[in-house]
Amino acid sequence: MKRKCPVCGKSTDSATDADFPFCGERCRTLDLGNWASEKYVISSPAFDESMFEELERDLEKHDSGEKE
């Protein structure tokens, strides 16, 4: 699989580059540093908070012996 390095844009190939999708160790390390310094962020929550509320209600029903 051929892609461009997400850090520098150099062409990379999964068949030949051990650091794929990065072109080398330098870019792989720079990317890790960017995550560690919070330069990258997830723009929206990965899950819906209401999902946990529903789960909590179901668990409470189960613990109290109620039937659904």
Q: How far apart are CA 46 and CA 43, in angstroms?
A: 9
Peptide bond into 6 cis (omega under 30): no
Instruction: Let me know: does 9 contact 27? Beta carbons within 8 Å.
Output: no
Half-sphere exposure at residue 9, Cβ-oriented, CA atoms within 13 angstroms: 0
Q: What is the DSSP letter of 47?
A: S
- For the chain, the domain total comes to 1
Q: What is the DSSP letter of 13?
A: E
Q: Which domain, by its residues, includes 16?
A: 2-64
Q: How far apart are the first and last CA of the chain?
A: 49
Q: Please tell me whether the overall predicted TM-score, pTM, comes out greater than 0.75 for this model.
A: no
Q: For the chain, 68 residues long, give each residue's pLDDT as a single digit of tens.
A: 999 999 999 999 999 999 999 999 999 999 999 999 999 888 777 777 777 888 888 888 888 776 55
CATH number for position 53: 3.30.50.10
pLDDT value at residue 46: 72
